[in-house]
Chains A and B, each alone.
Chain A
Amino acid sequence: MTTADDTRSMMDDSRLAMQGTIEALDSGDGSEPVVVNLGPQHPSTHGVFRLKVTLDGEIVRDAEMRIGYLHRSMEKLAEERTYTQNIPFTDRIDYLAAMSNNLAYCLAAEELLGVEVPPRANAIRVMFAELQRVASHAMANGTFINDCGAWHTPLFHMFRDRERVLDMFEMTCGARLTTNYMRIGGVAFDLPDELLPTLEQFLADMPENIANYEALLMENEILHARARGVGVISPEMAINSSLSGPVLRATGVPWDLRKANPYSGYEDYEFDVPVGEQGDCFDRFLVRMAEVKQSLRILRQVIDNLPDGPWLADVPLHARPEPGESYARVESPRGELGFYLVSDGGPAPYRFHCRPPSLINLSALKEMSIGGTLADAIVTLGSIDIVVGEIDR
């Protein structure tokens, strides 16, 4: 267990090491560190994210992130909208995993309102949350390989899978990215007839696609050289830094909210939680690749056991929950996505807080980057898989 002193000394060490180097540079041959602003407009920051790195040659001596370029004050805006009106906001928090965000918010609101969700709605929710995970991991892994310097080839191949998932979203709810599909008490629409055959075909095709990616990437020596031993973080430090999702699991900590705190009937499905060993960028990549396979496994079970019945509980559109609070979280593709809602009995949440995994996973970015090269910092950032909409909200 990490004690406070350990944490402090870890932080002090890195700070001292940094100061020592910069002083040595200053006193030496007259050279001085270079500060480079990576972003806010930069090909590898995945949005308007700015990483201010202090470089000694190619070595990163300090990394500081500057964010807020996409701040849309959602938490404030949500206080002026009803519980149902807030669902579209959650799409735009993490626009690469809108379904997961819908789900987390609806769970929090349902806890506040005391709503029971019908079984068919739960199964549909799991189906779309897992499809979203496949799509989001395809994006994450593709851009990660791009950050390692590939010329878009794996990205485009993985986008093909994501495209099919988005087609299924469009089929079901009319939107591809900002789905606004889940409702308090269930989902907005029942599944269309053509969805299940499409999904079956998707599940049939995916194993071959994944085998192709693995053939291309798994034993790629350059990818190994770039990602292994880079951006390493220990399990103790990862827990202490509140990291979650694939970043935490890559360090070997088997923490998955779908298992630890099953929601929407995840306890009924069989799946494993892949964990890494080294906690480096390559392990994060491998964990995501393995999670896609597990998601396909869950999807198979959802299709086979899809219950009939209503898909939306009878919840008034203008709901006024009792005063109180709720904190509900889901395992989004990026980690623990939580919504903390406080009600004062009014029609709108008194306080609407999103626990953004993208932001909190960046807690240890500085520790992961210092001492590596500029290229390593980019790879590390890519392996954390941030979505700037979620960081800034």
Chain B
Amino acid sequence: MTTQYDATAAMEIVNASAPGAACVEDGVLYLEPALVAEAIESLRDSEESDLIFLCSLTAVDQERHFEVVYHLQSLDLNHILAIKARLTDREDPTLPSLTGVFHGAHLQEREVYDLFGITFEGHPDLRRMFLWEGFPGYPLRKDFLQMPGQIRAGLPGFPHESTENAWPVPGSVPQRPQHPNDPQPPSVLAVAEDGEESS
């Protein structure tokens, strides 16, 4: 059975090689954004932690900040550790890239860049992956295509629970990506041109 690796032990390993890079809050290891790559490299190379497998790399928009979440796994010792890094700059969130540490971070970082707009410095090929260059906004941010009346994406409540949870403007539903009423409909032509690209 895979066990959770102790965040405090991980913090000690990280701080030994990159002082002040890690701290533990509520049993979760938080990393200093600027030192993420070094910190994770030390966790990977340490004999005790042996976190050599990057399971998952993703981000969460916590409205005030972005949280980049890494799930690292040790195969031989069979433990897993969730690591987070907080990015408070919503305008231009940047984080060092993990591609030098884990080759598998390439595509996952591109996905996060595409959908959250988080820039990974040092990524060799940071381009949008699912959407095309020039797509307006970053869809997985909570303020993507914000409606008048501050409606944000997400489900405020079950319809039966309370009328307060219903959408404030009757008849209006949040516009989703590629909704026909979208004021800036994503250009289909952009895809077509890209698809015919040749050299």
A residues sitting closer than 8 Å to B (CB atoms) are 1-4, 7-8, 10-11, 35, 37, 40, 50, 66-69, 71, 73, 75-77, 79-82, 237, 239-243, 253, 255, 260-262, 267, 318, 325, 327, 329, 336, 338, 340, 342, 346-348, 350-351, 353, 355, 359-360, 362-364, 392
CB neighbours (8 Å) of B80 from chain A are 327
**How close is A339's CB to chain B, nearest CB, in angstroms?**
10
Complex contact B104–A243 (CB within 8 A): yes
Complex contact B155–A82 (CB within 8 A): yes
Nearest residue, chain A, Cβ from B71: A327
* B41, B100, B158 pick with most chain A CB within 10 angstroms: B158
**In whole angstroms, how far apart are the Cα atoms of A50 and B115 in the complex?**
20
* A237, A255, A392 pick with most chain B CB within 10 angstroms: A255
Complex contact A80–B154 (CB within 8 A): yes
**How close is B197's CB to chain A, nearest CB, in angstroms?**
7
**In whole angstroms, how far apart are the Cα atoms of A382 and B52 in the complex?**
27
- The answer to whether A242 and B55 touch (CB under 8 A), given A7-B103, A37-B198, A363-B106, is yes
**In whole angstroms, how far apart are the Cα atoms of A82 and B160 in the complex?**
13
CB neighbours (8 Å) of A242 from chain B are 53-55, 102-105, 108
Complex contact A79–B104 (CB within 8 A): no
Top 3 nearest A-B pairs (CB, nearest first) are: A242-B104, A348-B155, A68-B130
CB neighbours (8 Å) of A340 from chain B are 56, 58, 69, 71
- The answer to whether A363 and B103 touch (CB under 8 A), given A262-B1, A348-B155, is yes
Among B101, B131, B153, which residue has its beta carbon within 8 angstroms of that of A80? B153
Taking the complex as formed, is B174 at the interface, i.e. its CB lies under 8 A from any CB of chain A? yes
Nearest residue, chain A, Cβ from B1: A261
* Contact residues of B: prevailing secondary structure: loop
- The answer to whether A35 and B199 touch (CB under 8 A), given A260-B78, A346-B155, is yes
**How close is B122's CB to chain A, nearest CB, in angstroms?**
11
CB neighbours (8 Å) of A11 from chain B are 103, 124
- The answer to whether A253 and B75 touch (CB under 8 A), given A76-B153, A353-B58, is yes
- The answer to whether A355 and B199 touch (CB under 8 A), given A3-B45, A242-B104, is no
CB neighbours (8 Å) of B103 from chain A are 7, 10-11, 237, 240-242, 363-364
Complex contact B154–A329 (CB within 8 A): no
- The answer to whether A40 and B195 touch (CB under 8 A), given A7-B101, A81-B155, A241-B104, is yes
CB neighbours (8 Å) of B96 from chain A are none
CB neighbours (8 Å) of B82 from chain A are 325, 327
CB neighbours (8 Å) of B55 from chain A are 242, 327, 329, 336, 338, 355
CB neighbours (8 Å) of A82 from chain B are 155, 158
**In whole angstroms, how far apart are the Cα atoms of A392 and B110 in the complex?**
12
**In whole angstroms, how far apart are the Cα atoms of A369 and B82 in the complex?**
32
**In whole angstroms, how far apart are the Cα atoms of A81 and B157 in the complex?**
10
Nearest residue, chain A, Cβ from B98: A4
Complex contact B129–A67 (CB within 8 A): yes
Taking the complex as formed, is B177 at the interface, i.e. its CB lies under 8 A from any CB of chain A? yes
Complex contact A4–B100 (CB within 8 A): yes
List 13 interface pairs A-B (beta carbons < 8 Å), by A numbering.
A7-B102, A37-B195, A37-B197, A68-B130, A75-B140, A241-B103, A255-B75, A262-B1, A329-B55, A340-B69, A347-B155, A351-B61, A355-B71
Complex contact B132–A327 (CB within 8 A): no
**In whole angstroms, how far apart are the Cα atoms of A261 and B100 in the complex?**
28
Complex contact A239–B52 (CB within 8 A): yes
Within 8 A of A (CB), among B185-199: 191, 194-195, 197-199
* A66, A75, A261, A351 pick with most chain B CB within 10 angstroms: A351
**How close is B147's CB to chain A, nearest CB, in angstroms?**
13
Taking the complex as formed, is B34 at the interface, i.e. its CB lies under 8 A from any CB of chain A? no
**In whole angstroms, how far apart are the Cα atoms of A3 and B46 in the complex?**
11
Taking the complex as formed, is B107 at the interface, i.e. its CB lies under 8 A from any CB of chain A? yes
Taking the complex as formed, is B136 at the interface, i.e. its CB lies under 8 A from any CB of chain A? no
Among B52, B156, B194, which residue has its beta carbon within 8 angstroms of that of A240? B52
Nearest residue, chain A, Cβ from B196: A37
